[in-house]
């Protein structure tokens, strides 16, 4: 085994690189690894050989799909770096790295400024109270403008960002960066394929650098009251005081550091690594949220001094290594070849070898301390979100909260014999990506898979198709319509078969009344004087329930109805539960026909995020989808629209919204209520259901 040092908690820094798609995260990650001495050469995303994008699906599409982890040793610290996908389809893997990191860096393209996905990620980090900053990428672009990017950050996030590095030149004149904190410059070396070179701050940048440093000193003073006094007294801070102040200010979200660079030319990277190593929060400042046995929330500080506990943050399946479980150690330490307890599964688990990784390359270690992230393979029980501990404890870490799926498709194997294998693979995919769901809908008899978008779902299906050689078909899932009544009605029905042998007899007088929306069902026995003996009442209710489940208009389940049996008749020999069931079923159906029945459709709550310029188009598209807008709010150029719309109109909304907004819009959706439909809409639903058999009276 290569003897790789295990770092103690105070020397670990977990940093997530996140941001809008194509802003240069994987390139930054790759070149940071090169500058940090991890890899001998930085590869391009286009070559398909980067450390960050290493799965076949990433190499094929040249975008990141999964979170990647690597580590860099710098100034005696171990920086665990996460590269994350930018497309909102893969947001699950971004958010899991946020939970595992104590610091996040959002990439902002120097030409485009802050883009919509970055705003959403910022909000997520804000909710998690994570210290965060920015890296302004692609400063070599013709239209790169650092000051404009800073201004954009200020406006969109309403914060005062502080520059830790400043670009020297831009576009074709870009030469390097000034490290404002450490008062030096780094220049692009040769054609940019080598590590950047340190040097003095150029004369014509001295003034700008001094002004930026003044701002940084002020920001550092903000970190601590004593420092602030000191600063007011002396008008400055020593380098050491500045470090202390910045560490505190960053951990308490009083500053939002900004970096600039050109990763492709290995520029702006060393000052970033120095900052992450020296100022970036270490895990001792973090608390994970857990539940105790009574379900009470607890904050659990990351603490190497306690007994071992960890959280499974991610599961991946690799062709060679099998199942890989990523663990973040929360307390104590985990040793290789130890027995631990899977609290979530209530089972002991044997941990064999323990790894850390550089992308897909695993490196064996003896132990992992609290705060570190490592990998174990081939465990019998570990799955994402499991709590693991040294012994049986009653503490369970909170599951990662992820957005609800917004896009669903129904899928089945072309060959019936492949259905089971398809199901197994889909379940495995739900384990790898927690935003992906798999459900068999017994009502519509469809296997419905859901996720964050068409791209995510296609990638999952393509992978199964390629690896398992299963041909499949997909279609738009059916909507779960309902039937209900709009007025009170009643009917009586006598079920009678009394020719020869043991007969059947039961008479039911039924009344049905509409219930408020969402109350589903009530059954009342209002018979008196023994007209229907007690033992037959369950049969009556069964008959009502069967009729409701089968529907009368278009074979959709009936909801929001009170069924009351008011009277009936029995025969001392021929009556049975079955006779009453059949009588009740037919009475219900007759009553329903006279109760002005109507179809109900699911109405969804919708929140749409789009750049303001698309607002008009999105609104008119929504009204064409029978949507009702209930609110609109705009912050920093991003509009948030709240609306309600029928589910049937939203089945392809993620595709429609993408095309209206050139791929930038996104939305969340959840079921709200059922609402009646009539006229043409109802006719279409009925027509599509033609051929669906409604039960015969005697079945
Ligand atoms: N000019 C220039 N191009 C860059 C720079 N960094 C990245 N790029 C290019 O930008 C494109 C996207 O880069 P990636 O690193 O894949 O971006 P990403 O943010 O990881 O993309 P997703 O993972 O899909 O969100 C690639 O063509 C890169 O070569 C840079 O510093 N300068
Ligand atoms: Mg990427």
In the reported structure, the alpha carbon of residue 506 is separated from the centroid of ligand 1 by a whole-number distance in angstroms of 76
21 Cα nearest atom in ligand 1: 25
Do the domain assignments include residue 402? Answer: no
Q: 25 and 127 share a domain?
A: yes
> Number of helices and strands (H, E) in the chain?
16, 37
Q: 91 CA to middle of ligand 1, Å?
A: 18
Given the CA of residue 141, which atom of ligand 1 is nearest to it? 1
Rounded CA gap, 37 and 273, in Å?
12
102/22 same-domain check = yes
Q: Which residues' Cβ are closer than 6 Å to ligand 1?
A: 21-27, 44-45, 63-64, 85-86, 137-138, 140-141, 262-264
268 alpha carbon, closest ligand: 1
How many Å lie between the centroid of ligand 1 and the Cα of residue 36?
A: 19
Task: For the beta carbon of residue 466, count every other beta carbon within 10 angstroms.
Answer: 12
Same domain, residue pair 430 and 577:
no
Per-residue confidence (pLDDT) for residue 501, from 0 to 100: 73
In a domain, 377, yes or no: yes
Q: Which residues contact 223 (CB under 8 A, 6 or more apart)?
A: 244, 245, 246, 247, 248, 249, 250, 252, 254, 255
CATH of the domain at 188: 3.40.50.300
Please count the structural domains in the chain.
5
Long-range contacts of 285-292 (CB under 8 A, 24+ apart): 285/102, 285/251, 286/102, 286/371, 288/99, 288/330, 288/397, 288/398, 289/397, 289/398, 290/387, 290/395, 290/396, 290/397, 290/398, 291/395, 291/396, 291/397, 291/398, 292/394, 292/395
pLDDT (0 to 100) of residue 699: 53
| 649 Cα: distance to centroid of ligand 2 (angstroms) | 33
Nearest CA to ligand 1 atom 5: 138
User: In this structure, is residue 640 part of a structural domain?
Assistant: yes
Task: Note whether 144 and 57 are same-domain residues.
Answer: yes
Please give the distance, rounded to the nearest whole angstrom, from the Cα atom of residue 20 to the centre of ligand 2: 10
* CATH (domain of 544): 3.30.230.10
Task: Identify whether 634 is part of a domain.
Answer: yes
Q: Which ligand is nearest to the CA of 137?
A: 1
Considering the domain architecture, whether residues 67 and 181 belong to the same structural domain is answered as yes
Q: Are 198 and 184 in contact (CB under 8 A)?
A: yes
Q: 437-446 pLDDT, tens per residue?
A: 999 988 788 9
Q: Choose the final residue of a domain: 475, 505, 520.
A: 475
Query: Is there a single domain that holds both residue 111 and residue 180?
Result: yes
107 and 162 fall within a common domain: yes
Residue 263 alpha carbon, nearest atom of ligand 1: 31
What is the Rg, in whole angstroms, of the alpha carbon atoms belonging to the chain? Answer: 31
Structural domain of 317: 287-397
Whether 510 and 444 map to the same domain: the answer is no
Please report whether residue 695 resides in a domain: no
Q: Are strands 628-635 and 598-611 parallel, antiparallel or unpaired?
A: unpaired
Q: Which residue from 327, 451, 300 is spatially nearest to 381, judged by alpha carbons?
A: 327
pLDDT at res. 2: 43
Residues in the chain predicted with pLDDT less than 50, given as ranges, are: 1-3
Would you say residue 303 lies in a domain?
yes
pTM recorded for the entire structure:
0.90
- Neighbour-count burial for 544-568, b at 16+ CB within 10 Å, e otherwise: bbbbbebbbbbbbbbbbbbbbbbbb
Q: Which of 556, 575, 596 is the last residue of a domain?
A: 596
pLDDT at site 54: 96
CA 426, 427, 428, 433 torsion-angle sign: positive
Identify whether 466 is part of a domain. yes
> Which secondary structure element, helix H or strand E, spans residue 640, and what is its range?
strand 638-646
What's the first-to-final CA gap in the chain, in angstroms? 71
Same domain flag for 386 and 416: no
pLDDT for res 568: 96
Which of ligand 1's atoms lies nearest the C-alpha of 86? 25
CATH of the domain at 635: 3.30.70.240
Asked if residue 3 is part of any domain, the answer here is no
Neighbours of 687 (CB within 10 A): 9
Mark the residues whose beta carbon lies below 5 A from ion ligand 2. 25-26, 64
User: Both 291 and 279 in a single domain?
Assistant: no
Residues 171 and 209 in one domain: yes
The residue among 596, 616, 632 that closes a domain is 596
């Amino acid at each position: 085994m290569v003897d790789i040092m295990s770092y103690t908690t105070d020397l670990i820094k977990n940093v997530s690189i996140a941001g809008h798609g194509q802003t240069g995260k994987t390139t930054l990650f790759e070149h940071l690894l090169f500058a940090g001495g991890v890899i001998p050469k930085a590869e391009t995303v286009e070559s398909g050989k980067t450390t960050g994008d290493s799965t076949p699906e990433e190499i094929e599409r040249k975008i990141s799909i999964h979170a990647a982890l690597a580590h860099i040793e710098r100034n005696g610290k171990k920086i665990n770096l996460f590269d994350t996908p930018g497309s909102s389809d893969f947001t699950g893997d971004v958010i899991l790295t946020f939970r595992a990191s104590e610091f996040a860096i959002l990439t902002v393209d120097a030409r485009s400024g802050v883009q919509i996905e970055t705003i959403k990620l910022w909000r997520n980090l804000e909710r998690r109270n994570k210290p965060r900053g920015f890296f302004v990428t692609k400063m070599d672009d013709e239209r790169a403008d650092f000051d404009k990017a800073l201004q954009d950050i200020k406006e969109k996030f309403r914060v005062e960002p502080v520059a830790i590095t400043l670009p020297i030149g831009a576009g074709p004149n870009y030469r390097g960066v000034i490290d404002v904190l450490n008062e030096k410059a780094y220049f692009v070396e040769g054609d940019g394929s080598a590590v950047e070179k340190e040097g003095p701050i150029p004369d014509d940048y001295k003034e700008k650098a001094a002004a930026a440093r003044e701002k940084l000193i002020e920001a550092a003073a903000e970190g601590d009251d004593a420092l602030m006094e000191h600063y007011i007294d002396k008008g400055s801070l020593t380098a050491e005081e500045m470090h202390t102040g910045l560490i505190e200010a960053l951990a308490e979200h009083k500053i939002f550091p900004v970096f600039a660079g050109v990763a492709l030319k290995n520029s702006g990277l060393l000052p970033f690594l120095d900052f992450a190593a020296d100022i970036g929060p270490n895990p001792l400042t973090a608390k994970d949220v857990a539940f105790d046995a009574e379900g009470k929330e607890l904050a659990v500080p990351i603490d190497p001094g306690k007994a071992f506990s960890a959280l499974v943050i991610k599961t991946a399946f690799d062709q060679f290594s099998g199942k890989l479980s990523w663990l973040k150690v929360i307390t104590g330490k985990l040793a290789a070849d130890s027995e631990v307890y899977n609290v979530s599964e209530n089972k002991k688990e044997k941990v064999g070898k323990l790894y850390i990784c550089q992308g897909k390359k695993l490196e064996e270690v003896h132990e992992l301390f609290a705060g570190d992230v490592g990998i174990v393979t081939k465990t019998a029980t570990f799955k994402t979100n499991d709590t693991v501990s040294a012994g049986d404890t009653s503490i369970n870490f909170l599951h990662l909260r992820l957005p609800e799926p917004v896009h669903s498709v129904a899928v089945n194997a072309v060959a019936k014999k492949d259905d089971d294998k398809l199901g197994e693979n889909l379940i495995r995919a739900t384990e790898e990506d927690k935003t992906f769901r798999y459900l068999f809908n017994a009502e519509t008899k469809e296997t419905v898979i859901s996720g964050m978008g068409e791209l995510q779902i296609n990638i999952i299906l393509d992978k199964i198709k390629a690896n398992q050689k299963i041909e499949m078909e997909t279609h738009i899932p059916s909507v779960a319509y309902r039937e209900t009544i709009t007025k009170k009605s009643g009917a009586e029905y006598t079920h009678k078969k009394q020719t020869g042998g043991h007969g059947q007899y039961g008479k039911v007088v039924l009344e049905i009344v509409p219930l408020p929306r969402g109350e589903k069902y009530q059954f009342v026995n209002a018979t008196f004087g023994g007209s229907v003996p007690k033992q037959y009442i369950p049969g009556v209710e069964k008959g009502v329930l069967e009729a409701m489940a089968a529907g009368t208009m278009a074979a959709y389940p009936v909801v929001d109805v009170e069924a009351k049996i008011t009277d009936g008749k029995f025969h001392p020999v021929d009556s049975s539960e079955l006779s009453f069931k059949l009588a009740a079923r037919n009475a219900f159906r007759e009553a329903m026909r006279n109760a002005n029945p109507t179809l109900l459709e699911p109405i969804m709550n919708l929140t749409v995020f789009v750049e303001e310029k698309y607002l008009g188009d999105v609104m008119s598209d929504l009204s064409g989808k029978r949507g009702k807008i209930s609110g609109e709010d705009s912050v920093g150029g991003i509009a948030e629209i709240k609306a309600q719309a029928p589910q049937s109109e939203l089945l392809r909304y993620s595709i429609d919204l993408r095309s209206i907004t050139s791929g930038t819009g996104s939305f969340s959706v959840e079921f709200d209520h059922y609402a009646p439909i009539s006229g043409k809409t109802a006719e279409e639903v009925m027509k599509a259901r033609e051929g669906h058999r409604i039960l015969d009276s005697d079945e």
